[in-house]
């Protein structure tokens, strides 16, 4: 039998091979590869190709949906391992509300942020996708969370991050809340412009950014 490689995993994401990706990921785990290696070198590499092809109109929405489904199945399988592999274990404190902002349905990156934060010991409240400013405010108030993590994948929805921050800043009882943002179109400069407390380029760094805010 041929050995499974990261390239096979990437290709399964690209082709949306929902019938084979789980078995392939299981094989790589059995071979001793780490969940983080499989995520970064297999799944993310494949999704990056999907993004490029989608932009060039070489792939279309139904195919991208299948790729997303294949990636989700693999991430679900890797989730317990990613939590175990989390370097620092469950020693962090605090609660983080996470969500993808209004108008935006992309959730794969946000779900990875949730996994990494949980692995580091944070309690995470996931509001899902297409989350309004008011829903973030209500959840922060009800949960007493100290942090909120906003995700956006569309340049057209980035503006809602600013709206969420403004909504939080209008509430005196939420002035302790620190906001971090992330997502493909977002940058540190943008984070500074809209008054976010932190910017994380990827899910793993979201943990470091929040821990840095904890120390402030
Ligand atoms: Co969409 N899509 N999509 N899509 N999609 C992009 C984002 C796009 C860049 C593709 C392209 O053109 N190359 C493009 C946006 C262009 C732009 O605005 N600049 C695009 C578009 C246009 C659209 C639609 C408008 C298409 C249409 O309908 N014509 C539509 C919008 C729907 C909506 O949201 N209202 C749409 C729909 C979809 C699908 C539903 C088919 C599917 C999403 C499925 C799902 O998420 N459940 C989808 C997908 C899969 C993509 C691409 C191909 C892959 C996104 C992804 O999951 N990447 C994407 C192309 C790309 O990004 N290269 C694309 C893997 C994931 C792990 O990475 O989410 O970037 P990412 O998360 C990273 C970091 O960004 C960061 O950490 C993660 C890695 O560790 N991060 C954070 C993310 N959030 C964070 C929060 C943090 C910290 C870090 O702190 C809180």
Q: Does residue 197 line the site of ligand 1, with CB under 6 A? A: no
- Nearest residue by C-alpha to atom 12 in ligand 1: 55
Q: Which atom of ligand 1 is nearest to the CA of 200?
A: 88
pLDDT higher than threshold 90 for residue 87: no
Mean pLDDT for the stretch of residues 13-37: 97
Distance 45 CA to ligand 1 centre (A): 14
- Nearest residue by C-alpha to atom 26 in ligand 1: 61
Strands in 198-199's sheet, in edge-to-edge order, are 123-126, 95-100, 147-151, 178-182, 198-199
Q: Does residue 75 line the site of ligand 1, with CB under 6 A? A: no
The CATH T-level fold of domain 95-215 is Rossmann fold (3.40.50)
Structural domain spans, the chain: 6-85, 95-215
Burial 33-67, CB ≥16 within 10 A → b, else e: bebbebbebbbbbbbebbeebeeeeebeeebbebb
CA dihedral 49, 130, 74, 14 (to 10 degrees): -20
Residue-wise pLDDT tens digits, 139-173:
999 999 999 999 999 999 999 999 999 999 999 99
What CATH number labels 6-85? 1.10.1240.10
* Band of pLDDT at residue 1, cut at 50, 70 and 90: very low
99 neighbors 93 (Cβ within 8 angstroms): no
pLDDT higher than threshold 50 for residue 54: yes
Rounded (5°) CA angle 34-36-40: 125
């Amino acid at each position: 039998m041929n050995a499974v490689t990261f390239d096979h995993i990437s290709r399964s994401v690209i082709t949306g091979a929902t019938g084979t990706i789980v078995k392939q990921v299981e094989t790589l785990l059995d071979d001793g590869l780490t969940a983080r290696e499989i995520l970064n070198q297999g799944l993310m590499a494949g999704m990056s190709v999907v993004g490029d092809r989608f932009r060039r109109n070489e792939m279309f929405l139904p195919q991208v949906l299948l790729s997303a489904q294949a990636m989700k199945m693999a991430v679900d399988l890797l989730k317990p391992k990613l939590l175990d592999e989390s370097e620092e274990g469950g020693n962090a404190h605090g609660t983080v509300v996470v969500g993808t902002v209004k108008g935006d349905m992309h959730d794969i990156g946000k779900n990875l942020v949730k996994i990494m934060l949980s692995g580091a010991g944070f309690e995470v409240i996931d509001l899902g996708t297409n989350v309004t400013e008011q829903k973030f405010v209500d959840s922060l108030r009800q949960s007493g969370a100290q942090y909120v993590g906003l995700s956006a994948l569309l340049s057209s929805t980035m503006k809602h991050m600013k709206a969420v921050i403004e909504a939080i800043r209008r509430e005196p009882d939420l002035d302790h809340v620190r906001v971090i943002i992330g997502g493909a179109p977002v940058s540190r400069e943008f984070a500074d412009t809209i008054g976010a407390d932190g910017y994380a380029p990827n899910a793993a760094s979201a943990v470091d950014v929040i821990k840095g805010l904890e120390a402030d």
